[in-house]
Chains A and B, each alone.
Chain A
Amino acid sequence: MAEPLLRVENVVKRFGGFQALGGVTLSVEKGERFGLIGPNGSGKTTLINCISGMLRNDDGRIVFQGRDVTDLPAHRRARLGIARSFQIPRPFGSMTVIENLEVALDYAARGRAAGDDHAAAALEILKMVGLDGKARVVSGRLTQIEMRQLELARAMAARPSLLISDEAMAGLSSSEVDDLLTILFRLNEAGTTVIMIEHIMRAVMRFSERIAVLDAGEKIAEGAPADIITNRAVERAYLGE
């Protein structure tokens, strides 16, 4: 069997006495569309913080493209091809939208991105997410929804092989959700593996080929969307007994 793109092996993360992740193991295949769901506080964001390197896991390993990245700082992982968007947008507020993308092209994608024309590459990505009209606007002045689009665009500009989208769709209208899904599908077709964290079930179910469910820091289920919906443990986690 081929080496998966990402292997999370028995990852444990504690905050003081609170165990946020209690030994989570999962693997994501190359080119896969992977969904990560779970009730609030189940450890989804903690898990992707550990994968992206913003947090160091206390135990376990994270292997990306066959390489143990557990001890690498976040910027090295970004350069290897792990990009993420933030749940609460964190734009580089003093820069214009296009400059935000150029940071990613200058740093994360350095040496991997094809071509030197960063401005053109950035504009192309902005077109994809529908922000090209705002390219020269200072990003601190964008609306919340535009900032979400920028989050995704900046992550795309990092030319990732693994894109982690952390609740990019919260608060969007259903047509906006469809637009975003279209973008992610297209990105995936172009070869990017996508992990989607989402509360909007319609979106995750439609998008994901495989879904893992976290509850209280443990993986309680994994499988195809159709199996997850009928899974008893998942139902208990979301609805209680």
Chain B
Amino acid sequence: MKGRWLLAIAVVLLALAFWLTRTVDNRYIYFSAYAVLQYVVLATAWNILGGYTGYVNFGTGAFFALGVYTSVFLIQAFAAPLLVQIAAGGLVSGLLGLGIGYLTLRLRGVFFSIATLALAVVLETVMINWEYVGGAKGINIIRPAPGALFENYVQLLFMVMGALAIGAVAVAWFIEHSRIGRGFAAIRDNEEAAECTGVPTLKLKLLATTVSGCLMGVAGAPFPYYLSFVDPGSAFNLSYAVNSLAMPMVGGTTTWLGPVIGAILLGTAQQLATVTISSELNLLIVGVVLVLFVVLAPDGIVGLVGRLVRRREA
């Protein structure tokens, strides 16, 4: 029942976005809205592993960039259309998630996090030395024509990322409201007890790394067309790892809504700061907000609101 309402809201949001592309022409709006929506996908993806299951991934950049470079490769080799790029980006990053899961999930806590951090470094080194996809100096990508529906390609990308964001949130919602979500939470709370309560912990953790990695790759796949230029520095940017961790923490990690709120707040703040103050200030803002939240509201905005509501009821 609640799910049907959310579906209706999602359809309305998409329709509104489409209407926006009919009425507002300012390209910059779509350009920055895309960035915010991309963070909705990344934060939601991170949260499936980090928030639900409790395994902190510092390697978001690796999964994102793998999606980016999968697209670059497909554009270079086959001039593949955007939808194929997205599907392939998701598939490849999902497989990376599965592989990393197999290799590292026997590591607990901080050791898993360090391994994901190392993964990003390794993968970046590979891309720097792979000339076919641009190597260290990067590669220019020529956007195709936007098609009949849209004025320009950025509007089209904005709509695509909007749909992907809704898709990612739907996946998170489904997990949260299924047996799987409860299994994830049991793993996060106490892995041994979960295993002894019949939860197939290894299988579920692999599912979490795969789904999380897949969504990150999906978020990265449209990136080459978005910037028209890809180099390892931008694809593997540290800000992806920092933001996709900070946004769920600020919004709240235990529900699907937390990462969405965090991504919209922090993402918008960064977009505004880039224009009005300086583009260097972005991560500083994220850092300060993150510290404040970790100290003052460890359950994030969702937890904070929940606490206030309960206090009023009591």
Contacts and interface: CB of A to CB of B under 8 A. Distances in A.
Partners in one complex: yes
Interface of A: 52-54, 73-76, 78-79, 83-84, 86, 90-95, 99, 102-104, 106-110, 154, 158
B182 A154 contact: no
A233 to B, nearest CB: 32
Contact of B196 (A52, A93, A102, A109): A52
Interface string B174-215: 000001001101101110111111111110000000000000
Given A83-B196, A92-B194, 7 more contacts: A52-B196, A53-B195, A54-B192, A73-B200, A102-B182, A108-B198, A154-B197
A155 to B, nearest CB: 8
A94 B198 CA distance: 18
A109 B254 CA distance: 25
B198 A93 contact: no
A94 B196 contact: no
Nearest to A159: B198
Contact of B197 (A93, A94, A103): A103
B256 to A, nearest CB: 16
23 contacts: A53-B196, A54-B195, A54-B196, A73-B202, A75-B194, A75-B200, A75-B201, A78-B195, A90-B192, A91-B189, A92-B186, A92-B189, A92-B190, A92-B194, A93-B189, A95-B182, A95-B189, A99-B182, A102-B182, A103-B194, A106-B179, A107-B198, A108-B198
Contacts of B185: 92, 94-95
A73 B195 CA distance: 8
B195 A103 contact: no
Interface of B: 179, 182-183, 185-186, 188-190, 192-202, 254
Contacts of B196: 52-54, 74-75, 78, 83-84, 86
Nearest to B193: A90
Given A75-B201, A110-B198, A90 B182 contact: no
A109 B182 CA distance: 14
**Which of B190, B193, B195, B196 has the most CB atoms of chain A within a 10 A radius of its CB?**
B196
A165 to B, nearest CB: 13
A76 B198 CA distance: 6
Nearest to B187: A92
A158 B197 contact: yes
**Which of B190, B202, B254 has the most CB atoms of chain A within a 10 A radius of its CB?**
B190
A94 B254 CA distance: 9
A93 B190 contact: yes
Contact of A79 (B179, B198, B202, B254): B198
**Which of B186, B192, B193 has the most CB atoms of chain A within a 10 A radius of its CB?**
B193
A78 B193 CA distance: 11
Contacts of B182: 95, 99, 102-103, 106
A2 B59 CA distance: 56
